Each structure stands twice: as C-alpha cells, then as structure tokens.
C-alpha cells in the first residue's frame, strides 16, 4: 500500500522567542491521500495558513515531520524544496498574482520556463491548460482585459500547466463576487473529480467549503474537527 500523499507527524511551528514566542501549529497530525479535495478552515491566527505554507514547502516545521509521498520534506535544503514545488505542486492565490503587462498565455507559460521546457512544447502545454479552464479564446489578453473570474482561471491554468499532483488554493474566491466564486469552485471540483488532482484549499467561506469532500478546522494551532470522506473512512 503506497504511503499517504501528504502527512504531518507531530508538526509544530513557532515564531519568536521567550515571551514573544507564538505557537502557530502545535503538534499537528494530518494525513491527506491522493485525490482528495480538502478545505482547511479556521479563524485568523488558527494555523491554517501556516499549515498550507508547510505543505507548499514555503515554510518548514520547528518540530515534527512533514512527509510527501513518504519522503521526509522537513530536512530538505531550500533548493530541494524548490524542486518539489516546481514538479509536484501548483499554487492559486486570492490575488491572482498575474504579471500585469503579460498575456494570459505567457502567464501560464511561466512555471514551464522554470522547468526548462522548450518554447514550442511549453506553448502547447499552456494552450492546453487555458483550454481546460475555458479560456482558449483569451490567450492573447493581458490581465487588464480580463474579469476577476477570468484572471483566476488563468491562475488555475498556470497551476495546471506544470502537471502538478497537488493544487494548493489559498482563499481562491476571496476577491470574487458570489457568481464568479461558485464558477471557480465548480472548476476546481471538476479538476479534482475528472483529473484526480488533489486539492488543498484554505477558505473562510462556509459555502465555498461545501465543494470539498473533506473539511478540517483549525483553532489555536490545532485541528479541532476533521469531517468528510477521509475522516469517515478512518472512523469505519
């Protein structure tokens, strides 16, 4: 039986020292299997963003172990963690993070440039990613010519272009109106369902969390609730 895709074993993360020390994560155990769609929720300062940053190799635990496909990520070098991000993870952010005077196609190409892919091949991959998110007709438009929902679709296409195992979505609907928010969530759910991409999403919106098959709530650096498909299997 293969190891879990993502696993925390007693992960803690603290910042500062002495009286100023803040425990962002406190001895967290967590397992996420390949193909899950997980919503991580909690109030400000609960640890949800810290957990996401550790999963995304943007931060590292001060104690405990983070394993990806059974390999301990905790002790990898900065360059090794960058390689893991580049080849296995895709990121979607609340603020879209698109280059302003760069076409949708060129924005989607960016992670493929970092992978060293030849220009002809990366254009083909980027075009396929834009088609998957329904924006094949907007490849030449820059962000100022796109709606917020379309910009987020470009950001999702950029995350998809590198063929990731996991998409990490940090408040992906935070800058969108209700209609566009549901369109983006339906797209993420479709990618999870049809392509088997594991999605880990941080959100504070209850109605957006309902699109996930599993919900994990953090409070004061600890998991206080874990409900959904994976949790139910564990209880069986």
Asked whether residue 66 is assigned to any structural domain, the reply reads yes
For the chain, counts of helices (H) and of strands (E): 8, 10
Asked whether residue 29 is assigned to any structural domain, the reply reads yes
The Cα–Cα gap between 178 and 46 comes to 25
- Give residue-wise pLDDT tens across range 127-158: 999 999 999 899 999 999 999 999 999 999 99
Asked whether residue 16 is assigned to any structural domain, the reply reads yes
For residue 173, the enclosing domain spans 6-235
In this prediction, residue 232 carries a pLDDT of: 44
Q: What percentage of the chain exceeds 70 in pLDDT?
A: 97
Q: Give yes or no for a contact between 130 and 75, defined as CB atoms under 8 angstroms apart.
A: no
Give the sign of the dihedral formed by CA 204, CA 209, CA 210, CA 215.
negative
In this prediction, residue 230 carries a pLDDT of: 53
pTM of the model: 0.91
Number of folded domains that form the chain: 1
Helix (H, G, I), strand (E, B) or coil at 74: coil
Asked whether residue 1 is assigned to any structural domain, the reply reads no
The Cα–Cα gap between 236 and 232 comes to 6
- Give residue-wise pLDDT tens across range 38-82: 999 999 999 999 999 999 999 999 999 999 999 999 888 989 999
CATH of the domain at 222: 3.40.50.300
- Give residue-wise pLDDT tens across range 88-112: 999 998 888 899 989 999 999 988 9
Asked whether residue 151 is assigned to any structural domain, the reply reads yes
The backbone region for 220, taken as left when phi is positive above 0, alpha when psi lies in -120 to 50, beta otherwise, is left
Asked whether residue 192 is assigned to any structural domain, the reply reads yes
Asked whether residue 39 is assigned to any structural domain, the reply reads yes
């Amino acid at each position: 039986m293969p190891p879990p895709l993502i696993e925390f074993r007693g992960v803690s993360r603290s910042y500062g020292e002495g009286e100023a020390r803040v425990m962002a994560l406190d001895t967290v155990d967590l397992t996420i299997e390949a193909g899950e769609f997980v919503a991580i929720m909690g109030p400000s300062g609960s640890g949800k963003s810290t957990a996401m940053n550790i999963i995304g190799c943007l931060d590292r635990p001060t104690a405990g172990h983070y394993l990806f496909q059974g390999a301990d990520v905790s002790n990898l070098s900065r360059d090794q963690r960058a390689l893991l991000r580049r080849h296995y993870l895709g990121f979607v952010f609340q603020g879209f993070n698109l280059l302003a005077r760069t076409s949708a196609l060129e924005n989607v190409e960016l992670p493929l440039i970092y992978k060293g892919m030849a220009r002809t091949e990366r254009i083909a991959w980027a075009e396929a990613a834009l088609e998957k998110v329904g924006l094949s007709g907007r490849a030449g438009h820059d962000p100022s010519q796109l709606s917020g929902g379309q910009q987020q679709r470009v950001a999702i296409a950029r995350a998809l272009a590198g063929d990731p195992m996991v998409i990490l979505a940090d408040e992906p609907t935070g800058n969108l109106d209700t209609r566009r928010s549901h369109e983006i969530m339906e797209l993420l759910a479709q990618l999870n369902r049809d392509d088997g991409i594991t999605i880990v999403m941080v959100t504070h919106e209850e109605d957006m969390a309902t699109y996930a098959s599993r919900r994990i709530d953090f409070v004061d650096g600890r998991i206080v609730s874990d409900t959904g498909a994976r949790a139910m299997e564990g209880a069986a």
